[in-house]
């Protein structure tokens, strides 16, 4: 199941400032999380860095406020609208990938989403909108179960692969062959071969290959100034997703200045900071939190 479908209860944040002086984490170093639940139901976690022989406790680094969202006013209404729209998009994607085999289940999901839109139009309080968002999260979980059901997973992966190839050809493929585009094509062929096997192990491998192809796709786009500017323009219209409106406004102003100065590197950094300041919701262009993770890597 997708992590963003789970309920956010807080954040476990460790900064580089928390590492002992002179210690650094290298790419590829393992990070091991140990989860436990007390009799009271309280969930705790420790993060272990074996390469540094360091362990960090959630009691010191837990940030519970990050699990809370404001659903008041116009911004709260727009936030719920974003969540419902994403659920509708996901359901449409499953229909395109799986077809009539899940029509009854998806018809039921469509009715539930229509009901949430009606509730949203009648809502007048933040608590009502929060309740709608939680209901939609459960509906998205139902969609996710259909998508990853053993009977449907192969068709869904094939649909996802073909869509990724189309987007790469339309938006990212360079005019001349490059090592990256050659690798993308090799991975596309390998992924399709695994999908055709239809075994659970083969589908696991196909999913991993598709994720590697997505890295090539997003990193190629990220090198294009017009894509960076488009991502900024999009983020600049989503103040309702901001966790800190003051920081958001400053970043948008800085971004406009970077565009005027034709400073693409600075604009890239600003877009990343805008994403860091956003509530984590899946997006129609792709999951921005995953995209940000890919680009940082």
Q: Give the C-alpha distances (Å, rounded to integers) separating 231 from 215, 220, 264, 272, 285.
A: 17, 14, 12, 10, 10
Numbers of helices and strands, H then E, in the chain: 11, 5
pLDDT tens sequence for the chain (297 residues): 455 555 555 566 666 667 777 888 888 889 898 887 766 566 677 888 898 888 887 654 444 444 446 688 888 898 899 889 989 988 988 888 887 778 888 899 999 999 999 999 999 898 899 899 889 989 998 998 888 889 899 999 999 999 999 999 999 999 999 999 999 999 999 999 999 999 999 999 999 999 999 999 999 999 999 999 999 999 999 898 888 899 999 999 999 999 999 999 999 999 999 988 887 654 434 455 556 555 655
| Gyration radius of the chain's alpha carbons | 21
**Structure tokens, 16:** 């580089």
CB neighbours (10 Å) of residue 166?
A: 10
Q: Domain limits of the chain?
A: 3-67, 73-147, 153-216, 225-296
Task: Report pTM.
Answer: 0.70
Of 9, 123, 122, 148, the C-alpha closest to 65 is 9
């Amino acid at each position: 199941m997708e992590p963003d479908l789970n309920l956010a209860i807080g954040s476990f944040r460790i900064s580089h400032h928390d590492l002992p002086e002179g210690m650094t984490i290298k790419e590829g170093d393992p990070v091991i999380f140990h989860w436990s639940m007390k009799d009271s139901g309280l969930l705790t976690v420790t993060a272990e860095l074996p390469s540094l022989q360091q362990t960090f406790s959630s009691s010191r680094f837990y940030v519970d406020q990050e699990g809370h969202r404001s659903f008041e006013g116009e911004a709260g209404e727009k936030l719920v609208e974003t969540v419902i729209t994403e659920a509708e998009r996901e359901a449409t994607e499953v229909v395109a990938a799986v077809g009539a085999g899940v029509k009854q289940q998806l018809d039921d999901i469509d009715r539930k989403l229509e009901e949430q839109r009606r509730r949203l139009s009648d809502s007048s309080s933040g608590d009502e909108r929060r309740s709608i968002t939680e209901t939609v999260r459960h509906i998205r979980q139902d969609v996710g179960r259909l998508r990853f059901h053993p009977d449907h997973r192969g068709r869904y992966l094939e649909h996802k692969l073909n869509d990724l190839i189309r987007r790469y050809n339309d938006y990212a493929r360079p005019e001349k062959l490059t090592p990256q585009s050659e690798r993308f094509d090799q991975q596309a062929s390998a992924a399709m071969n695994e999908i055709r096997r239809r075994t659970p192990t083969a589908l696991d491998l196909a999913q991993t290959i598709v994720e590697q192809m997505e890295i090539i796709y997003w990193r190629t786009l990220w090198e294009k100034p017009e894509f960076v500017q488009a991502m900024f323009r999009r983020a600049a219209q989503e103040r309702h997703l901001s966790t800190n409106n003051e920081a958001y406004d400053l970043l948008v102003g800085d971004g406009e200045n970077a565009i005027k100065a034709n400073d693409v590197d600075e604009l890239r950094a600003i877009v990343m900071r805008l994403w860091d300041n956003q509530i984590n919701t899946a997006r129609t262009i792709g999951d921005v939190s995953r995209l940000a993770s890919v680009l940082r890597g």
